[in-house]
Amino acid sequence: MKKKKYRKLRKDKNSNRFEEMMQSLGKREIIIISSVIFAVTLAIILLMAVRKGYMDNGFSNVVSEETTVDGSASNAALDGEDMPVVETATEGMKSESTPDTTVLAKKEGAKEGYLNRCVFLGDSRTVAMVNYGFFNDDAALAQIGISHPAFASNTFINNAGKEYTLKSYLGSHQAPVIYIFLGVNGINDSSEEHYRNTFLTLIDSVSDMAPNSNIVLASIGPVDDNGIYKNTVQNAWIDKYNEFLLETAKEKHIFYLNIAEILKGSNGQVKSEYNGGDGLHYSVKGCEAIFRYIVEHPVPKISDEGEYVVKYIKPNPKKVKVTMGTDSGIDEDKLQGLMDMMMGNTENQNTSDAGAQSSEETEEELRKKQEEEEKKKAEEEEKKKAEEEEKKKAEEEEKKKAEEEEKKKAEEEEKKKAEEEERKKAEEEERKKAEEEEERKKAEEEEKNKDNASEEGSDEESDKDKEKDESGESSSEDTEEDLSNQSEEENVNNP
């Protein structure tokens, strides 16, 4: 009672003071005070109105950049005219692979326009490709945690809120190329036969629903054997079933995309820069590597002309479907982290990156960091370009040197050949000269012998005549002697 009485007395006292103060003020002072109060009140009202208008405009801007998943969006991306349309396959576009073409080979100068002719059937890894802006929302039929045995009977909801089954999707999306990015969920199936048979059934179903489309089986990408999904997936299992997928592609004359070769490190695990943080899903860099690999390893004879444009539709985490259970290994403990990753909300998608941004970094710090990374990348590219030019220059010099050496060698050989011919010519002339000299000497010798023979003949004739004369004389003498002797004998006989 005393407290109430005290408060009442105090109130009355204050009221009396206010009345006394007002009575002491003149009319002029009251008008001034009233004007000030009115001006302050008006200023407060105007300030609140301006602030409200700013907030309304800001909210409007945010909404215009995002998409409500229930289809009542203000995002222009939901307008069918603005959404990219995947090309439809026609008869004659489908090719049968051969043993040499089953594994898609790298194509030099490949262009992104090729992706305007592709759709993708997949799981959470494909969802990430969409959410990170590499695939168009309508070019993928994918769901977090889905496994290939359940794929054909599942109902999918994309970021734009459209519902599809496999049958309805392929009914309106029979692209020239259909990629199947499945197999990691359910890889721990206790029945290997069940895993294989359900995969074969899915491939046959896709082939029947899209008879003019080329089907590509993508290899199952590697994981970190020590990641949080280590109990449901291991690289040894992945390697085994990748062999199965490759053999299936060969048997069915379809194609095989070996993305595992760029994602796997030398230690057999997923490369650290591609690890999204949980050992199973990939970082933005990993998704970009997959994107580039797809573009550079296209299905033969499929055009890559045209501009490739992605109309990004932001996912609504409240509307995203997730398949949980033993096949996917997703449980309540992993769900929030997985959803953050799929929505791009993780603080660090690459656990090996020591310089990853923290949640306390400001936009300015992020911008500076991005600029530094771009500058570093540009410097590395410039350095690489300079090294390439230096290498090219060195190769040109080496080539030029080799050509000069070859020219010099050819000149030396030519000189040597000329010298050899000159030597042979000189030898031939020397030989010819020697033969002529020999012939001359021989002729002279014969002439000399002939003259000698003639002289000897004359001498012999003279000797013969001389002998004849001498013989005649001797004969006369003998005759005379004989006659003398005969005469003597006759004288003796006839005395």
Could you read off the pLDDT of 402-455 as tens digits, one per residue? 888 888 888 888 888 888 888 888 888 888 888 888 888 888 888 888 877 777
Determine how many CB atoms are found less than 10 A away from the CB of residue 370.
11
pTM of the model: 0.57
User: What average pLDDT score do residues 69-86 get?
Assistant: 49
Could you read off the pLDDT of 464-477 as tens digits, one per residue? 666 666 665 555 55
Out of 1.10.260.40, 3.40.50.1110, 3.40.50.261, 3.40.50.720, the CATH code matching 83-350 is 3.40.50.1110
- Ranges assigned E (strand) in 182-286: 214-218, 255-257
Residue 234 pLDDT greater than 70, yes or no: yes
Residue 69 pLDDT greater than 70, yes or no: no
Residue with tokens 């797809």: 294
Under the banding of pLDDT at 50, 70 and 90, the label for residue 40 is: confident
Could you read off the pLDDT of 287-302 as tens digits, one per residue? 999 999 999 999 999 9
Q: Rounded to a whole number, what is the distance in angstroms from the first to the last CA of the chain?
A: 250
Task: Show me where the domains of the chain are located.
Answer: 22-65, 83-350
Determine how many CB atoms are found less than 10 A away from the CB of residue 254.
24
Q: Is 268 left (phi over 0), alpha (psi -120 to 50) or beta?
A: left
